[in-house]
Structure 1
């Protein structure tokens, strides 16, 4: 049996999404910007897809949703747009983010620092969550932007986006959230949560790879990251991938329906808990950040004495796919930065394994994964002659 438990890295395309995309490869293939019927023929489904995106995050008609290549482009568009519009002209000079953001945020912030931008990286608490009060504490007159993820890609921990949005709105500071790991798992509402910018990527909620979106609230326009055409009203140049746009729209519709969100909460979470509880029966295992306030599909578990990369190799040999953290940093053998942010010791920081489920996982798959994981831990602990139990560890939290 093969069991895919790395859905925070990417997801299988929903069969319904695939069917909706198929006509746009060989039948309705015109350039949407062309004036002839071959181009115009793409428009109805593009409009439909865009409407699905607006509905999925409750965007207002006067707001913009730009079609991008992925959440990385969306994040770069916001950060570099703020740099161009607010910082280079001397109006502002400061950005606030967290220590546990996705590399698409942290790497871009590091680049901006090299250009003279002041960036504050706020720490998370012992549960792995940023406290909204710390955002308020560090906002100053020079602050141009606060950017905080909606849900952490490694722990699944949900951040207090509503409170942070209210703080930023009250203080007149623009607020961006990377909602890549939230859409399709928890309700996302840009109006209720007072978000100015929001990034997402289709392949995280059973859409195609290579396409994403950026929500921009009316009045919060940005200098485009890409120039060269009038697509998206001149706000994001480049011919739109129509098939993928249609796929993303349908994936959003399916993932954000009331039924889908309820399924994540009531079914996917039970599968996650079944897997998690079985692993926690093994000696010296912990859930990083604890069990509360997470997306329904994610658990980051440390198995003391078992190095994360070795664990992944063993699981892969037996048909189970998991991760040590962000796929964008999977070739980096440094200690997991999220675990470092928790203040974990050097040994523990290399032991985190992330399991992330989807609505396509089954009870039978989880039963098999539990068997494989249990055998792998026994095997790898037997190999590690330096392993010693540490009674100070707990079953959840650090």
Structure 2
């Protein structure tokens, strides 16, 4: 498909455009400061002050207390994979606890790792999602057992935008000595994350969902947590850390804008589509949601067919077997939303006529 100037990018739940400042922060580590900090000479040692400087915006965004540890990952998926593997070797091997709990509909990397760890003797178990789009406390209590080693959750569902309440879950995990891993990729920079209030043991995130560099992610560990994640990771990627730090700094500064202006644009998108297509349904619109995400069902059109029709006209979103997800960003504009409303409603009406509602 040829390049389109007037495209509307509403797939920010999949990845985001790196900001200009992120790119400018990274460039010196390709041209000037290209050493590795493990080297004993000046070319390597000159990087150490940069590393200390770039860690601070990360801790600031998480409101993390002194002592919380940070590890740079190659992506959000890499971060999750490292956490699940380390829990198996650090908890399952020495204690025999081999149950890994995750909600139904978890990220693909979680499902894949569950299958891999099952081959090694782990017992994966999926927790059902309730009618409000989150794991209910009663279902969580029924799922945990004396053999539970790790519970892994997404703070925000990347398809629906629904925010998972964590207070009861965190309390149960703490009381029973179960590790709680939280992936905050889809909520970070959109909702306030307070380390002391939420209280997860391990937190992961992907940098490319925050207008940061591709191939970057992070792992934060509770200060007293001892695990095999504390290992050398080869040549440290200072360029990725520089870009990631800038992205998190910008996300922290733009959080109010996301919660107010981007939420207004998301609501405008939903209202405009519903006004023209009253049979469309916004999923979980009465629940607490991240301000930038909207999942909609279009009952008279196949989601993949509708997604393709939108793609042909320059509106980019994502879909699963039941719904389309639209993800806005701080770069989204009123004119883009208005264009998206017009194209979505036109495409849906055309597909409705073709299908006759038989989908």
TM, length-normalised to structure 1: 0.85
Contact 2:301 2:357 in 1 (8 A): no
Deviations for 1:24-72, whole angstroms, at most 9, x for unmatched residues? 1112211222222222222222211111111111223222111011121
Find out whether 1:245 has 2:245 as its counterpart: no
The secondary structure found in structure 2 opposite 1:208 is coil
Find out whether 1:268 has 2:262 as its counterpart: yes
Match of 1:61 in 2: 66
Match of 2:342 in 1: 371
User: 101, 113, 116: which one pairs with 1:111?
Assistant: 116
Q: CA deviation at 1:273?
A: 0.6
Distance 2:130 2:283 in 1: 12
Match of 1:143 in 2: 148
Q: CA deviation at 1:235?
A: 2.0
Distance 1:161 1:262 in 2: 22
Match of 1:290 in 2: 285
Q: CA RMSD in A?
A: 1.6
The secondary structure found in structure 2 opposite 1:6 is coil
Q: CA deviation at 1:385?
A: 3.7
Find out whether 1:2 has 2:7 as its counterpart: yes
The secondary structure found in structure 2 opposite 1:292 is coil
- Please identify, of 211-220 and 284-293, the stretch whose mean Cα deviation from structure 2 is larger: 284-293
In the TM superposition, structure 1's runs of 4+ consecutive aligned residues that sit over 3 Å from their partners are 385-388
Residues 280, 386 of structure 1: alpha-carbon distance in 2 compared, 3 angstrom cutoff = closer
The secondary structure found in structure 1 opposite 2:154 is coil
User: 41, 54, 57: which one pairs with 1:52?
Assistant: 57
Distance 1:275 1:291 in 2: 16
Contact 1:169 1:194 in 2 (8 A): no
Q: Tell me, which stretches of 5 or more residues in structure 1 are unaligned?
A: 225-233, 325-335, 337-349, 389-398
User: 159, 163, 169: which one pairs with 1:164?
Assistant: 169
Match of 1:339 in 2: none
Contact 2:306 2:348 in 1 (8 A): yes
Contact 2:99 2:122 in 1 (8 A): yes
Q: CA deviation at 1:351?
A: 4.0
User: 125, 131, 134: which one pairs with 2:130?
Assistant: 125
Distance 1:356 1:291 in 2: 18
Matches within 5 A, 1:197-212: 197-212=202-217
Q: CA deviation at 1:190?
A: 2.0
Distance 2:249 2:262 in 1: 18
Match of 2:298 in 1: 303
Match of 2:227 in 1: 222
Distance 2:286 2:27 in 1: 40
Q: CA deviation at 1:90?
A: 4.3
Give the count of matched residue pairs.
353
Match of 1:346 in 2: none
Q: CA deviation at 1:380?
A: 1.4
User: 326, 329, 342: which one pairs with 1:358?
Assistant: 329
Match of 1:96 in 2: 101
Deviations for 1:214-234, whole angstroms, at most 9, x for unmatched residues? 11112322224xxxxxxxxx5
Deviations for 1:60-88, whole angstroms, at most 9, x for unmatched residues? 32221110111211111111111112213
- Please identify, of 296-305 and 15-24, the stretch whose mean Cα deviation from structure 2 is larger: 15-24
Distance 1:36 1:194 in 2: 40
Deviations for 1:146-169, whole angstroms, at most 9, x for unmatched residues? 111100010010001233112211
Q: CA deviation at 1:180?
A: 1.0
Q: CA deviation at 1:376?
A: 0.7
Distance 2:216 2:340 in 1: 31
Match of 1:314 in 2: 309
